[in-house]
Structure 1
């Protein structure tokens, strides 16, 4: 028998593939186990992708679920070095636009913008991969 290995810190898991159009424009198609990002900005996030919802001292609401999913997927591509570091600015701006389009009250959006600014993009830093835990 081998060791079980897992990552913690996720709250949600996609039940079906999810497609969205983004402003991210890679120079070639990015394909990972759970995320595909096409050169035209189309992003496919596959069934069973796990994410933690919105980070920080906040609560998840219907108008935050898709933006948080998108932002977590974009941050994962950044952490893996598959998007250039400057893509973080596009991802953060698009995240805010998605929240606005879904009717999030502007003071709450502003607090989230400040939170992103305060983290300095650490959530997208390759050094911040989720830790793998082992159990015998």
Structure 2
């Protein structure tokens, strides 16, 4: 039996480290080539990490990039079952908070938040497949 994941194309590649305190709790800290999260929720995204940016129909604006990066990393950790599915609400809140901090209008940040709350659940579900 093999285990595999379907890949999608990524639009962006990180060239500087990003550190963000998520406020999430993790049973055991993890670290790989591109992501680390401590037991206390300190997320480190390392250079070389690739992500697809804001999801359609969103516009890839500068005030959306950092939020989409953190959000994508947190959703990846949920897909890999490092974070529980219950962390999705906090991940979505972080997206909104970071977008607001980066200068996004309140209305657009609200709209973005509503979009991920309504349509993001499948993107956070584990994606490991298997075949005989």
- Normalising to structure 2: TM-score of the pair? 0.84
Matched, 1:107 2:107: yes
Distance 2:119 2:112 in 1: 11
Q: Which runs of 5+ in 1 are unaligned?
A: 1-5, 130-136
1:30 paired residue number = 30
Q: Which runs of 5+ in 2 are unaligned?
A: 1-5
1:94 paired residue number = 94
Query: Deviations for 1:1-45, whole angstroms, at most 9, x for unmatched residues?
Result: xxxxx9442110011322222222212212233110012221111
1:55 paired residue number = 55
Paired positions, count: 123
Runs (4+) of structure 1 moved beyond 3 Å? none
Over aligned residues, Cα RMSD in angstroms?
1.7
Of the structure 1 ranges 104-113 and 66-75, higher mean CA displacement relative to structure 2 is found in 104-113
Structure number with greater Rg is: 1
Distance 1:83 1:10 in 2: 22
Query: Deviations for 1:52-98, whole angstroms, at most 9, x for unmatched residues?
Result: 11112121111111111000000000001111110111111111111
- Asked whether the equivalents of residues 30 and 36 of structure 2 are also in contact (C-alpha less than 8 Å), the reply is yes
Q: Relative to structure 1, is the Cα distance of residues 120 and 16 closer, same or farther in structure 2, using a 3 angstrom cutoff? A: closer
Q: Relative to structure 1, is the Cα distance of residues 122 and 38 closer, same or farther in structure 2, using a 3 angstrom cutoff? A: same
- Normalising to structure 1: TM-score of the pair? 0.82
